[in-house]
């Protein structure tokens, strides 16, 4: 993995600062005031020492006033700098976080297959916070202390340029230490951030799957797994602490040595001659004032490197190609004629083919049932319709137009999908049915629920349609969750309806009811039904039998029974199960 240089990263981050340049300018002004007033401290020392030998009345009044004005200015500078810089930083983080989240909503299915949700979640929580560090604390310190150091150096040059140049001879050494430390900080930060992803990942898996963990007595296993992820995080953090703990004193020591050399040189009789005692003290004061900002600057280096490592990660994610959405067609409504033309598909170039040359034409309004062993490619086939994945060969057309020619969102508007894994949101029943349609008509929602045989149980919920159903619908039974998902699909009222084992969690009786209801709902729509229980699909216009990525049989229930092939065999098997 190549590491982009800090400059490129900072330039990209600065792009986020741009819209807030006014706040930024105020903050810089504040820090300039701070730096100037702090530098004035050295000048004050000079006046104090030079003036103390014969103080006149003006001097007595002037010096205390100077102290007050200076500290007032410093306070104002600190306020302007701190407050406005936080504003800039928070805005940057907000924008970056939203960009990352928004981008994730448009990444293709293959991206989610390859990344754990724990790692993705830690991107918008942990990583983004790391960038805040770089954007706020670090820029604050760099501006405030950096300007202070510059102020001090200018003052030193003005007082005695020759001594100053000697003093500055130590800077290459400091630079070397900082550079080495930075590299190390960056590498370690990357590891820490990844390990935060692991921590989130393990925790969320073990917590959402708590029932499996407990029934398998896997608590100890999960504890160990979590402890390992957390320990790795701790070890890397300690390495970071070590680098920080070593680099800061080394830098301070170099500054101190150069300061000592300075004092020694400054006291050389030849040099002492042209300086007043005030000038001398001011010079040493200014030089020693340098120690604190330099320490802050080196301390903040770790924060900066953390931020850079995190922003690198985030920018990489932003560069992940989004789903291809190059189509231009934006149909209001389609008739629903679907064709698969020589469709082949594999989940990855290194993975086996899951669909092996599918040829299929579905007339508008036809009800197609797909049966076959699990793993035969049924879900994969229907997942091509909303273009969650694209065929590796061949093409799929809708109303005679290749799917690629449609814009994604209008294409997906044509399809109502109830998939194997029901997804419900932690909101009210009504909002779940009318998902994505704020302020939907209550009567329409209830009608959809009635069609899905969900109305009865919804009315029995504590708050009816306004009941909040918990994380992924924990308050509901499997069958109830499926009925809500079906109601959602019915509510969407799309010309294409895809039911992927949508009734598998229902008892035979409810399934029969829903089957009847669906027959009304399916009228006038092209419907794909994948069903496990064959009894529910007998009335389909056509039944397809899939085996290892191929359609091996196709026909009506009667035809297929008569043919006495794969379907008939499956049917016999289930019939025996029922009567046994």
Q: Smallest distance from the beta carbon of 355 to Mg ion, in angstroms?
A: 13
| Binding partner of 354, given ligand ADP, Mg ion, none, CB within 5-8 angstroms per partner class | ligand ADP
Number of residues forming the site for Mg ion (CB under 5 A): 1
Q: Note the residues at the interface with ligand ADP (CB under 6 A).
A: 113, 347, 351, 354, 372, 374-380
CA distances from 65 to 289, 498, 531 (A): 22, 81, 87
Q: Which is nearer to ligand ADP, 279 or 353 (CB)?
A: 353
Q: Which is nearer to ligand ADP, 372 or 473 (CB)?
A: 372
Q: Which is nearer to ligand ADP, 349 or 351 (CB)?
A: 351
Q: Smallest distance from the beta carbon of 354 to ligand ADP, in angstroms?
A: 4
Cβ-contact 461, 489 below 8 angstroms? no
> Quick one: 48 exposed, middle or buried, by C-beta within 10 A (0-12, 13-18, 19+)?
middle
Structure tokens at 264: 């020694």
Q: Smallest distance from the beta carbon of 416 to ligand ADP, in angstroms?
A: 18
| Binding partner of 347, given Mg ion, ligand ADP, none, CB within 5-8 angstroms per partner class | ligand ADP
Structure tokens at 450: 């009635």
| Binding partner of 189, given Mg ion, ligand ADP, none, CB within 5-8 angstroms per partner class | none
Q: Smallest distance from the beta carbon of 502 to ligand ADP, in angstroms?
A: 12
Q: Which is nearer to ligand ADP, 215 or 421 (CB)?
A: 421
Which residues lie below 8 Å from residue 132, measured CB to CB, with a gap of 6+?
Answer: 89, 90, 92, 93, 307
Closest CA to 182 of 409, 10, 28: 10
| Binding partner of 376, given Mg ion, ligand ADP, none, CB within 5-8 angstroms per partner class | ligand ADP
| Binding partner of 380, given Mg ion, ligand ADP, none, CB within 5-8 angstroms per partner class | ligand ADP
> Quick one: how far is CA 431 from the chain centroid?
25
Structure tokens at 58: 């003006």
Closest CA to 283 of 119, 405, 161: 161
Q: What is the dihedral of CA 554, 560, 564, 566, to 10 degrees?
A: 40
Q: Smallest distance from the beta carbon of 419 to Mg ion, in angstroms?
A: 8
Q: Which is nearer to Mg ion, 110 or 379 (CB)?
A: 379
Cβ-contact 402, 391 below 8 angstroms? no
| Binding partner of 113, given Mg ion, ligand ADP, none, CB within 5-8 angstroms per partner class | ligand ADP
Span near Mg ion by CB under 5 A; candidates 80-88, 148-156, 228-236, 376-384? 376-384
Place of tokens 């510059």: 150
Q: Please pick, from the candidates 379, 393, 504, 556, the single residue that binds Mg ion as defined by CB under 5 A.
A: 379
**Considering the rule CB under 5 A, would residue 504 count as an interface residue with Mg ion?**
no
Q: Smallest distance from the beta carbon of 303 to ligand ADP, in angstroms?
A: 39
Pairing of strands 367-372, 526-530: parallel
Give the residue nearest to Mg ion (CB): 379
| Binding partner of 377, given Mg ion, ligand ADP, none, CB within 5-8 angstroms per partner class | ligand ADP
Give CA–CA dist 197/186, Å, rounded: 17
Neighbour tally for 212: CB within 10 Å: 11
Pairing of strands 393-398, 401-402: antiparallel
Residues interacting with Mg ion, by CB under 5 A? 379
């Amino acid at each position: 993995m190549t590491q982009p240089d800090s400059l490129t990263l900072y330039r990209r981050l600065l792009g986020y600062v741009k819209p807030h340049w006014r706040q930024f300018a105020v903050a810089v002004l504040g820090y300039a005031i701070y730096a100037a007033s702090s530098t004035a401290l050295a000048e004050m020392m000079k006046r104090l020492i030079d003036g103390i030998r014969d103080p006149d009345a003006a001097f007595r009044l002037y010096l205390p006033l100077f102290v007050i004005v200076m500290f007032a200015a410093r306070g104002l500078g600190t306020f302007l700098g701190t407050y406005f810089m936080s504003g800039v930083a928070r805005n940057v983080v907000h924008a970056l976080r939203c960009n990352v989240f928004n981008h994730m909503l448009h990444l293709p299915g293959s991206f989610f297959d390859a990344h754990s949700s724990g790692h993705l979640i830690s991107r918008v929580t942990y990583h983004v916070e790391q960038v805040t560090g770089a954007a706020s604390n670090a820029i604050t310190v760099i501006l405030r202390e950096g300007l202070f150091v510059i102020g001090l150096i200018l003052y030193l040059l003005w007082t005695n340029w020759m001594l100053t140049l000697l003093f500055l001879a130590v800077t290459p050494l400091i630079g070397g230490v900082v550079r080495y430390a930075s590299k190390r900080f960056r590498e370690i930060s990357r590891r820490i951030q990844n390990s935060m992803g692991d921590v989130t990942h393990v925790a969320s898996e073990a917590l959402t799957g708590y029932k499996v963990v407990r029934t398998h007595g896997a608590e100890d296993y999960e504890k160990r797994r979590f402890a390992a992820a957390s320990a790795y995080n701790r070890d890397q953090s300690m390495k970071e602490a070590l680098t920080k703990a070593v680099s800061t004193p080394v830098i301070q020591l170099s500054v101190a040595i150069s300061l000592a050399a300075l004092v020694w040189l400054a006291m050389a009789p030849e040099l002492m001659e042209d300086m007043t005692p005030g000038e001398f003290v001011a010079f040493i004061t200014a030089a020693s004032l340098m120690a604190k900002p330099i320490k802050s600057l080196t301390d903040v280096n770790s924060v900066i490197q953390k931020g850079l490592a995190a922003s690198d990660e985030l920018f990489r994610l932003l560069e992940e190609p989004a789903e291809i959405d190059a189509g231009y067609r934006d149909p209001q409504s389609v008739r629903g004629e679907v064709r698969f033309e020589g469709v082949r598909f594999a989940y990855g170039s290194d993975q086996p083919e899951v669909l092996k040359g599918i040829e299929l034409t579905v007339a508008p309004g036809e009800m197609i049932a797909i049966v076959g062993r699990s793993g035969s490619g049924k879900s994969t086939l229907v997942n091509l319709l909303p273009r969650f994945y694209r065929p590796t060969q061949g093409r799929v057309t809708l109303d005679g137009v290749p799917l690629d020619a449609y814009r994604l969102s209008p294409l997906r508007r044509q399809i109502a999908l109830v998939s194997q894994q029901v997804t419900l949101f932690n909101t009210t029943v009504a909002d779940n049915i009318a998902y994505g349609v704020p302020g939907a008509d209550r009567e329409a929602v209830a009608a959809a629920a009635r069609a899905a045989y969900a109305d009865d149980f919804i009315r029995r919920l504590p708050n009816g349609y306004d009941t909040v159903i918990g994380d992924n619908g924990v308050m509901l039974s499997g069958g109830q969750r499926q009925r809500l998902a079906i109601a959602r699909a019915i509510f969407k009222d799309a010309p294409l309806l895809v039911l992927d084992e949508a009734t598998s969690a229902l008892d035979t009786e409810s399934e029969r009811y829903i089957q009847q209801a669906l027959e009304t709902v399916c009228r006038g729509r092209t419907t794909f039904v994948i069903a496990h229980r064959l009894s529910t699909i007998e009335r389909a216009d056509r039944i397809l039998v899939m085996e290892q990525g191929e359609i091996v049989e196709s026909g009506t229930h009667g035809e297929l029974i008569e043919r006495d092939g794969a379907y008939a065999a499956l049917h016999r098997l289930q019939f025996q199960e029922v009567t046994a």
